[in-house]
Amino acid sequence: MKNNQVVFNGIHDGKMTLPKDFAVLFPKMTRLLDKAYKVEFTLNGNQRFRQYIWTLNGGSTIGWLCKLEHCVPQGRNIIPEHILLSQNMGGIVEYWLEDNTMEAESFIDANQFTFSLVDSTVGIGGWEQNYADECKLQGIEPMDTSDFLTFALEANGNTTFYNHKTKEVFVYLHDDYSPFGITPHKGHPLCTIYQYDKAPTFVDFVETLAGQWLQVIESKN
């Protein structure tokens, strides 16, 4: 069982200075991260994590646990904006809310990961054959899924991905449900590929997520 052991190598205050190009590209995310208390720790000698903790009135907290990554996986067509975000902020692998903020909805709800470079994969997260079959039934020409990179995975299997050429964001909703405004992509069949009405690109997605969490923080303070 030795190989399954987790060795905790220490904890310390996190110090983070965001580069100017990050602040220019992601102003809302910069404002959100600036409000957070940061804690960093390492597991098994080489797995680095950072917690972003926001304290609300009354002393309760909400936050993110992010995996810190500096190596960019090759052959996946990860766009520069995604690399800039993840190498500075990290990829979100856990989050927590307090009881009176649980009703707040955000793009990371029930996600197993969001933005993590190492977890991001080419394609639409395993829905390729289902997508092709549905398009064939409807007589629709499917898009080339090798142009996509999945950067977020929901626990129920829904995936969020972008086209590395256009940087447009799409979401595969096999259950045809989202709490946010969505539109099927160019007449695509239901329960396949949609686009967020207010987050058409990767940068829009990041900034919308930041705005969702800023709203929670500022409404409780």
Q: Which pTM was predicted?
A: 0.92
Least trusted range by pLDDT, from 89-93, 128-132, 201-205, 217-221: 217-221
User: For the segment 127-148, what is each residue's pLDDT rounded down to a tens digit?
Assistant: 999 999 999 999 999 999 999 9
Identify the three-state secondary structure at position 210: helix
User: For the segment 30-43, what is each residue's pLDDT rounded down to a tens digit?
Assistant: 999 999 999 999 88
Span 192-203, average pLDDT: 97
**Is 90 exceeded by the pLDDT of residue 10?**
no
Interatomic CA distance for residues 46 and 118, integer angstroms: 14
Query: What pLDDT is stored for residue 8 in this prediction?
Result: 66
Interatomic CA distance for residues 205 and 192, integer angstroms: 19
- pLDDT tier at 219 (50, 70, 90 boundaries)? confident
Bridge partners, 152 (sequence order): 114, 160
Share of residues in the chain with pLDDT > 90 (%): 79
User: Does residue 218 come out as left (phi exceeding 0), alpha (psi in the -120 to 50 range) or beta?
Assistant: alpha
Sign of the C-alpha dihedral, residues 201, 106, 128, 131?
negative
Provide CB contacts within 8 A for 14, sequence distance 6+: 38, 39, 40, 50, 51
Burial class (CB in 10 A: 0-12, 13-18, 19+), 148: buried
- DSSP of 51-108: EEEEEPTTS-EEEEEEE---PPPTTS---HHHHHHHHHT-EEEEEE--GGGTT---TT
Total residues found in the chain within this entry: 221
* Average per-residue pLDDT for the chain: 92
**Is 60 exceeded by the pLDDT of residue 1?**
no
Span 12-22, average pLDDT: 89
Q: What is the DSSP letter of 132?
A: H
Q: Among 195, 219, 218, 208, which Cα is nearest to 26's?
A: 208
Query: What pLDDT is stored for residue 43 in this prediction?
Result: 85
Query: What pLDDT is stored for residue 3 in this prediction?
Result: 55
